[in-house]
Structure formats: C-alpha cells, structure tokens
Amino acid sequence: MRALWLSLPLALIGCPLFGGGSGDDPCADDANNCGNGGALEIDASCELDDTLDLQLGQGDGEFQALAPSATPEFVTGLQGGFHMVLGIGIDNPSEEHLAFEVQVTLISERDGEMEPIGERTVVYGGSQVGFEAGRAELLDLVVIPDFWPEEGRRWISVSVTDACGRIGNLDHAID
C-alpha cells in the first residue's frame, strides 16, 4: 500500500493537468504535425533550371533570419525534451510551382568526425507555403536533435527541391 502512495505523485507528473502529456508535444508546433507531408511531384513541363536561393531562420509562425553563425532558439518541453522551429526563405520561387521538399540535417563534429545529430525530410505545399512579393516562406518546421553539444563545430545543412526540380543548398555554420 505504501508503494502505491509513493507512486501516485510520479503518475500525476505525466498527467496533462500537471504539465506532461499532450501539452508538451513538439509536433503541435509543426506545419505537418511531424509527418513528411507526402511526396513532391515534379512538373516535367517546367523549364526553369536555376538554383534556388535559400535563407535559414527561426520559423515559429513568422520568419526571422538567423545571423551568420547564430544558434537557433530551442524550445524546451516540460519533460526536458527540446526542439527547434526553423523557417526557410526562398527568394526565387516559381509562383506556379509552390511545392517544396525540404531536407534538414543537424551535424556535429566530435573527435574530427562529422556526425548527424538530427534529420528531417518534409514536403510543403498549398496553404503551408507563404508567398508574398516574389518570396516563398516555409514556416513551423520542427527538427528534434538527438542531442545538442554546447561546444565544437556544429551546423545545419538544408537542401530544398521545388516542383520544377530545381535545388538549393545551404550550410549554416554555428560557432
């Protein structure tokens, strides 16, 4: 009986009423609810072939460009997990082809070896793509790293493919 009384406070900690559970879900912040968004369909009739011009930023509801070598903000959950909410700006999208596949890889260098510490591939299309004045913005992209080292070389590698098959790549080094 005493073990039951001792375990009751631990059970309540995981209850949504006391700060755990569904209120602590990083996927609630994500444009695709942490899903992959389906498959990108390439339009073979599109004749554009230039490289996509990308910019990385914070993306929690609005785009805020990251300064060179800046670390994105982390969101820390009530149970100690953490994630980042990124945004991608595309300065030369095709207004007729506003669908994009985004690949994000978080990388850390340890003992001279590069190691992926978080990855995400997702497709944005339709109302998920903000478009204004010739610029597309992909917001609310949640990436959950396995861990985040406080020291050493770290970077965020981004690759975006649009519905024309054009590709843009960006590496954001963090000092």
- Domain boundaries of the chain, sorted by first residue: 25-174
**pLDDT higher than threshold 50 for residue 9:** no
**pLDDT digit string, tens, across residues 108-159:** 998 889 999 999 999 999 999 999 999 999 999 999 999 999 888 999 999 9
Inform me whether the pLDDT recorded for 172 exceeds 70.
yes
Strands 82-90 and 135-143: antiparallel
Which residues have a Cβ under 8 Å from the Cβ of 142 and sit 6 or more positions away?
Answer: 26, 27, 29, 30, 34, 83, 84, 85, 86, 120
* Statement: residue 17 has pLDDT above 80: no
Contacts of 102 (CB under 8 A, 6+ apart): 88, 120, 121, 122, 123, 124, 138, 141, 158, 159, 160
Q: Is the pLDDT of residue 3 over 90?
A: no
- Cα separation, 26 vs 36, in Å, equals 15
pLDDT at 13: 39
Higher pLDDT among residues 18 and 145, named by residue: 145
**Sign of torsion, CA 43 45 51 57?**
negative
Over residues 68-88, mean pLDDT: 92
Q: CATH assignment of 25-174, given 1.25.40.10, 2.60.40.10, 3.40.50.1110, 3.90.960.10? A: 2.60.40.10
Token output for 71: 């670390």
- Burial class from Cβ neighbours inside 10 Å (0-12, 13-18, 19+) for residue 37 reads buried
- Which of 101, 105, 151, 138 lies closest to 123 in space, CA to CA? 101
Structure tokens at 98: 């506003």
Task: Give me the percent of the chain exceeding a pLDDT of 70.
Answer: 87
Note the pTM of the prediction, 2 decimals.
Answer: 0.85
Tokens 């900690």 belong to 13
**Averaged pLDDT, 40-47:** 97
pLDDT given at position 6: 43
Identify the DSSP state of 86: E
Mean pLDDT of the chain: 87
